[in-house]
Amino acid sequence: MYPSSASHHSSPRDQRVTFRAFSTTHLALPSKGCTIYLESNLVQQDFIRPKQILISIDLKNGFYPRLEPFGFRFFICISIARYWSRNDARAKVTQDTPSEVDYIVVGSGPGGGPLASRLALAGYEVLLIDAGDDQGDQILAEMPIFQFASTEIEAQQWNFFVHHYSDLERQKKDTKMTYQTTDGDYYVGLDPPADAEPLGIWYPRAGTLGGCSNHNAMISIYPHESDWQYIVDITGDDSWAPDNMRTYFEKMEHCDYLPEDTPGHGFDGWLHTSATNQTMIVQDDKINSIVISAADAFAVNASDSILATAEGFNQVVSLDPNNPLPTRDNDTGLYQIPIAVDGRTRNGARNFILETVNAVNTDGSKKYKLSLKLNTFVTKIRFSNDTTPRALGVDFLEGKSLYRADPRAGKNGTQGTPGSVNARKEVIISGGTYNSPQLLKLSGVGPRAELESFNIPVLVDLPGVGTNMQDRYETTLVSESDVPFSIAEGCTFLTTADDPCLTQWQDDTADAGLYATPGLPLAMIARSSTAEQDPDLLISGAPANFHGYYPGYSGPALGDALHWSWITLKAHTRNTAGTVTLRSTDPLDTPLIQMHYFDEGTSTDDAWEKDLQAMYEGMSLSRQIMNSVVPLDGSFNETWPGADVSTEEELKDFIQDEAWGHHISCTNPIGADDDEMAVLDSSFRVRGTSGLRVVDASVFPKIPGFYIAVPIYMVSEKAAAVIIEQDAAGTSYR
């Protein structure tokens, strides 16, 4: 665990990490009585439906199932027979690539996955291509409490390393800075070996069916109306109006936490939304003491007696931040966070894809013409030679773990098998904020100077491709108590064969318990002094020791039940200076990702100072709340950033050194027809081409709302509606 006295000036993370996340390539003999079926070099999901499964535990960093780093480790077996028997949905993957389909969708994440399903439901023949395979039925991916661990499942993991600053020496002040050592390990911290190669800050992405919805925190918060109105204002397209966009949310949502007559919500969609069981929360006196202090900060009357029941809890903590009320976008206070959990399991794009691809008619025949092609990496978009190049199809390489963001890349010796497929109607790119601009550029669509520097023939000079990159700023304030949170009492987090919380989670007849939650019982929505229109701070609270993302973070994050983290997230950040540029012409190389944080980024109208001030106010509010906690069940001591970071100047320095983000967006922005930096029109069409669209997080001109998943799902639904409407009207091509 982190030492309690750690500050950002002496990294608690200085360590060498052998990064083999949840891999079975280095096995000890299983304990007595453990039956396991495996073949060499197979990862966890390749077990042949075992009744018991092998998990690696690192004692030095707590009891959380995780990667195999330095220090003492051992192996245990846990019985998950009931888990396997209750969850048997797997993707049906096409074996023979069709030579031609109506629509090719590249990428199965929150943008591409729902879009492909909607097009198939409308009767079109659709091929959905993804570089990964289907990892969604892994217990660490399905069980919400293991949302941290899900980002470190090697079989679905893509590791990008980004730079917050172009000045490497400044970048090295971040305690999450990661290096590659000469023996192939990762070093994280402030004192790397002299010969270690600096990589940057780890940015986890998911290469699997469902994309990042298969490893995210499941937080499902509706964006602000201003996010949609801004697109109307710059494009003149009223179909982006807030009232119309709400209909896409209602179409996709299957709300499980409100009465079915609640306005503004959907109850028949594919995305299940729920809320953490309040009864479970109010039984923890330590959480109650924090809620009371947080309520006091917002001048809300709360007491231990009020919070003793779920009804009392709902008087203090609002249940629905996604309500459609006119005042919603101005409201601040305490909220429960809606989560994409279907009863007891993660819910996301993968579920909708599987529902569609596995649907059958009464005679057993396939109902919809949706085919999946997994373990397939698209290398290039093929175009016609017309004056306006039309996307004809894509070239690809078939094979597992080909992309070098995959930690297994290069280990199986395969270079991939080339292939191609054609589109009768359109190609839709949904590779995400990093990969979509990379693919466009490699296909000849992007900034002329950059393409020519790599001798890539320029089909369309689009200077905005890979620019305008935006993210949140996030930091945490962590406190430690001498008394554990009771909410986790009895839970062994899969480290014993008789974990009672696993048993509770598996029992369909009972409340699913702690393991059915991502561990985020409440959040605060606040408005900083520099906010321009909507509240701009979301401060989430969790019983965790979370400092941000770095290789191996998931172990200490939930390594005990003594820590509480307030995670400050700055929404509507003003920095638009981030870039994604090519590293080489090899499509299997990752791109270069430069964020240009704070004073290195957007400075117009004091932009970076305003963002920094907002972050400072969010962390100060978190500190105020923890300093005011009445110790109902043990007191708290701040461990991060710690007592030696006390003045405004020190805290702002800490923020600039340690901030991170994980909602990367906006690298192929929608924009006005006369904006040379606009990559897409308001119908997601790539300018200067025909038959080509982009639908993913990269399409936003400004990063929307607080959390990115719901806005991406909404644009996926909108894109499907637009494509179907334009195809029927014969107006798909400009």
> Would you place residue 57 in the very low, low, confident or very high pLDDT band (cuts 50, 70, 90)?
very low
> In residues, how long is the chain?
734
Q: What percent of the chain has pLDDT over 70?
A: 85
The residue with tokens 């109650």 is: 288
Find the mean pLDDT for residues 661-669.
98
Q: Are residues 303 and 334 in the same domain?
A: yes
- Please answer whether residues 523 and 322 qualify as being in contact, where contact means their C-beta atoms are separated by less than 8 angstroms: no
Burial of 94 (0-12, 13-18, 19+ CB in 10 A): middle
Rounded to the nearest integer, the mean pLDDT of the chain is 87
Encoding tokens for residue 102? 């109506």
pLDDT, greater one: 373 or 78: 373
The residue with tokens 């909507």 is: 534
Find the mean pLDDT for residues 420-445.
99
Distance of CA 388 to the CA centre of its chain: 36
- Please answer whether residues 546 and 566 qualify as being in contact, where contact means their C-beta atoms are separated by less than 8 angstroms: no
Least confident of 6-20, 476-490, 500-514: 6-20
Least confident of 312-316, 396-400, 637-641: 312-316
pLDDT of 192-204, one tens digit each? 999 999 999 999 9
What letter would DSSP give residue 578?
A: B
The residue with tokens 């179909």 is: 239
Q: Are residues 339 and 356 in the same domain?
A: no
Domain limits for position 534: 276-348+472-590+601-658
In a domain, 188, yes or no: no
In a domain, 163, yes or no: no
pLDDT given at position 83: 39
Q: Are residues 314 and 337 in the same domain?
A: yes
Q: Are residues 307 and 362 in the same domain?
A: no
> Would you place residue 35 in the very low, low, confident or very high pLDDT band (cuts 50, 70, 90)?
very low
Among residues 609, 606, 619, the alpha carbon closest in space to that of 647 is found at 619
pLDDT at 567 over 60: yes
pLDDT given at position 30: 30
pLDDT at 246 over 90: yes
Give the domain-ending residue among 609, 639, 658: 658
Least confident of 58-67, 244-253, 343-352: 58-67
Encoding tokens for residue 446? 């992007």
Among residues 662, 666, 694, 685, the alpha carbon closest in space to that of 230 is found at 666
Q: Are residues 636 and 693 in the same domain?
A: no
pLDDT at 713 over 80: yes
pLDDT given at position 626: 96
Q: Are residues 512 and 650 in the same domain?
A: yes
pLDDT of 392-431, one tens digit each? 999 999 999 999 999 999 887 778 999 999 999 999 999 9
Q: Are residues 624 and 481 in the same domain?
A: yes
Least confident of 318-322, 655-659, 695-699: 318-322
What CATH number does the domain containing 380 carry? 3.50.50.60
- Please answer whether residues 540 and 520 qualify as being in contact, where contact means their C-beta atoms are separated by less than 8 angstroms: yes
pLDDT given at position 110: 98
Q: Are residues 513 and 544 in the same domain?
A: yes
Query: Cα 693–441–116 angle (5° rounding)?
Result: 30
- Please name the amino acid found at residue 578: G
> Would you place residue 69 in the very low, low, confident or very high pLDDT band (cuts 50, 70, 90)?
very low
pLDDT given at position 412: 72
Encoding tokens for residue 369? 């013409």
Give the domain-ending residue among 658, 683, 698: 658
In a domain, 306, yes or no: yes
Q: Are residues 364 and 480 in the same domain?
A: no
In a domain, 230, yes or no: no
What CATH number does the domain containing 296 carry? 3.30.560.10
- Please answer whether residues 441 and 456 qualify as being in contact, where contact means their C-beta atoms are separated by less than 8 angstroms: yes
- Please answer whether residues 713 and 697 qualify as being in contact, where contact means their C-beta atoms are separated by less than 8 angstroms: no
The residue with tokens 């949904």 is: 430
Among residues 200, 199, 195, 167, the alpha carbon closest in space to that of 182 is found at 195
Encoding tokens for residue 493? 């987090």
- Please answer whether residues 188 and 178 qualify as being in contact, where contact means their C-beta atoms are separated by less than 8 angstroms: yes
Q: What is the CA radius of gyration of the chain?
A: 24
Find the mean pLDDT for residues 296-302.
81
User: What is the C-alpha to C-alpha distance for residues 732 and 427, in angstroms, rounded to an integer?
Assistant: 12
Provide the edge-to-edge strand list for the sheet that holds 333-335. 333-335, 522-526, 537-542, 563-570, 473-481, 636-640
Q: Are residues 485 and 628 in the same domain?
A: yes
Find the mean pLDDT for residues 506-534.
92
In a domain, 166, yes or no: no
pLDDT at 64 over 70: no
Query: Cα 622–623–626 angle (5° rounding)?
Result: 90
pLDDT at 24 over 50: no
pLDDT given at position 48: 25
pLDDT given at position 70: 27
Query: Cα 530–469–641 angle (5° rounding)?
Result: 55
pLDDT at 80 over 70: no
If residue 147 lies in a helix (H) or strand (E), which one and from where to where?
Answer: helix 147-150
- Please name the amino acid found at residue 327: T
Q: In this structure, what is the dihedral angle of CA atoms 354, 360, 365, 366, given to the nearest 10 degrees?
A: -30
pLDDT given at position 300: 78
pLDDT given at position 631: 82
Largest CA distance in the chain: 73
Q: Are residues 482 and 339 in the same domain?
A: yes
pLDDT of 86-105, one tens digit each? 444 565 565 568 999 999 99
pLDDT, greater one: 404 or 495: 404
- Please answer whether residues 129 and 103 qualify as being in contact, where contact means their C-beta atoms are separated by less than 8 angstroms: no
Encoding tokens for residue 527? 């408005």
pLDDT given at position 515: 94
pLDDT at 247 over 50: yes
> Cα(first)–Cα(last) distance of the chain, in Å?
58
The pTM for the full model equals: 0.90
pLDDT given at position 337: 93
- Please answer whether residues 353 and 113 qualify as being in contact, where contact means their C-beta atoms are separated by less than 8 angstroms: yes
pLDDT, greater one: 592 or 88: 592
Q: Which residues of 84-93 are buried (b: 16+ CB within 10 A; e: fewer)?
A: beebeeebeb
pLDDT given at position 38: 27
In a domain, 342, yes or no: yes
3-state DSSP assignment of residue 129 = strand
Considering its fold, how many domains does the chain have in total? 2
pLDDT of 156-172, one tens digit each? 999 999 999 999 999 99
Least confident of 228-242, 519-533, 609-623: 519-533
In a domain, 23, yes or no: no
pLDDT of 675-692, one tens digit each? 999 999 999 999 999 999
pLDDT given at position 230: 99
pLDDT at 340 over 70: yes
pLDDT given at position 96: 65
Q: Are residues 610 and 676 in the same domain?
A: no
In a domain, 643, yes or no: yes
Find the mean pLDDT for residues 174-190.
96
Least confident of 315-319, 438-442, 685-689: 315-319
Helices (H) and strands (E) in the chain, counts: 18, 28
